[in-house]
Amino acid sequence: MKDFEKLFQEYSVETDETIINDEIEKILTQTPLNHNVNTILYGCLDYTSLNCTDNEDHINKMVEHINNNIKTDVAAICVYPYFVNTVKTNLRKNGVNIAAVSGGFPSSQTFQEIKIAETNLCLLEGATEIDAVLPVGLFLDKQYEYISDEIHELKELCGDRKLKYILETGILNNPNEIKNASILALEFGADFIKTSTGKDKKGADKKSVFIMCQVIKLFNEKYNKRVGVKVAGGVNSIEEAKEYAKIVSAILGEDYLNKRTFRIGTSRLEKQLFELI
């Protein structure tokens, strides 16, 4: 059995909320952003549709909108598993990834065999990225062995394709749990850690992204490997997106602000940013 408590202690991450809030305030007031930030943010978008009312016509129109964009490209189009083939069939942009939510999205409350099978089907249909979800109930019950094995299996299945692991930070109880969930995801194979599904009442927040970026920085130093961060759930304005970009830039470096290591999961900002680039 793995010694998870020892593993968590290897990461010296600030979890005092007062200190975190003070640090975030400094970052937001003192960190400059590239003058081309709107174009950078557009290129980091996971253009997303995860609605109960989604159908092929809606997804086709979404894909065609991206096909017709001659200015620049979003990072990915993110859809439910059923629509992966629809995106693949209609997408004419080689640089845009096809992301599928999988693994019992959004609650992750299903059998591990189902998660593996669904992920495999998504990959066979043409997904180039998988957004899977931490089973929060098991995590809070400290079922770390089960979760670590599941993450490892999902990443083995993905191979070179990206596994973005959703922590659902808004329903974790405290900064220490956000820290430990981040460590667990990265140590066992996730290529990105992501804040939220967008389906719970609380989505992304600056405190969680600050903690996640601290863990990523230490992970990068430990393994000499760059992993990414995705902000999703309730990012409704360009100003909010810029604030998250400042946190990422301040902790991980301005060169992190590209689609290989930074994503924003939203559809709301696409039009707003498009009009500014």
SS (H, E, C) 9-54: HCCCCCCCHHHHHHHHHHHHHHCCCCCCHHHHHHHCEEEECCCCCC
Angle between the N-to-C axes of helices 238-252 and 17-30, in degrees from 0 to 180, rounded to the nearest 10: 100
Render the burial of 6-34: b for 16+ CB within 10 Å, e for the rest. ebbeebebebeeeebeebbeebeeebebe
**Distance separating alpha carbons of residues 176 and 132, to the nearest angstrom:** 21
Q: How far apart are the first and last CA of the chain?
A: 52
- Please identify which of the residues 155, 179, 194, 206 carries the catalytic annotation: 194
* Known active-site residue 131: yes
**Distance separating alpha carbons of residues 241 and 230, to the nearest angstrom:** 11
- Please identify which of the residues 46, 73, 131, 191 carries the catalytic annotation: 131
Q: Which residue has the tokens 């329903």?
A: 171
Q: Minimal CA–CA distance to 179: which of 15, 1, 2?
A: 15
> Does residue 232 sit in helix, strand or coil?
strand
- Please identify which of the residues 206, 230, 246, 259 carries the catalytic annotation: 230
C-alpha 261: how far from chain center: 10
Q: Minimal CA–CA distance to 194: which of 164, 225, 173, 171?
A: 164
What residues are labeled active site?
Answer: 131, 194, 230
